Amino acid sequence: MPFIIAIDGPAASGKGTIAHALAEHYGFHHLDTGLLYRATGAKGGDPVEAARTLAPADLERDGLRSSEAGQIASRIAIIPEVRSALVEFQRRFAVQEPGAVLDGRDIGTVICPDAPVKLYVIASNEVRAQRRAAELGADPAQMLSELRERDRRDRERDTAPMRPADDALIIDTSNISIDEAIAAAISIVDHRRG
């Protein structure tokens, strides 16, 4: 049976970097589920139809990592029909051998609630804003405002709000290096794998 690692948390917390590193370390498949919502938004038109017809090639579209794409993704992610259309895509991905690492906002709570490893990666708002501003070459104050608004939408949506699973282990990356965060995550996974 494939081994599933579910990683959740807010934008710019480090979850994607940790997820990518874990997938590489264990030879697992990796899915940044936020790209599904970004790609759905980038397709334009009716978001529900865009989600239903999403193809793996859509995840390669330019501009999906932009701040604008992230804001659009957050707005369409509150639409229950969009989320429903993308759930099966994610669940099919998760059961690939030998294992998969999925990162997003609701992996441990909705997509893969039975995953043997659930991590919730956090960082302070200010640290996240600095990271995102450096990544995008943007103003940190503007990034802070956008991250707070996005977090509010993600936490308050009716369908699959962003929150840690009850059995998720928290990794706070505010004051540790990425190498330390990855090492902590590997230690958790190794322990769970026995």
What residues form the annotated binding site for ATP? 9-17
Going by the DSSP 8-state scheme, the letter that residue 103 receives in this structure is E
Express the helix, strand and coil content of the chain in percent, nearest 5 each: 55, 15, 30
CA 156 to chain centre: 17
Phi/psi-derived region of residue 80, left when phi > 0, alpha when psi is between -120 and 50, beta in every other case: alpha
- Are 128 and 107 in contact by the 8 Å Cβ rule? The answer is no
What's the CA gap between 31 and 66, in Å, rounded?
A: 18
Nearest Cα to Cα of residue 52 among 43, 63, 61: 43
Which amino acid, residue 60?
E
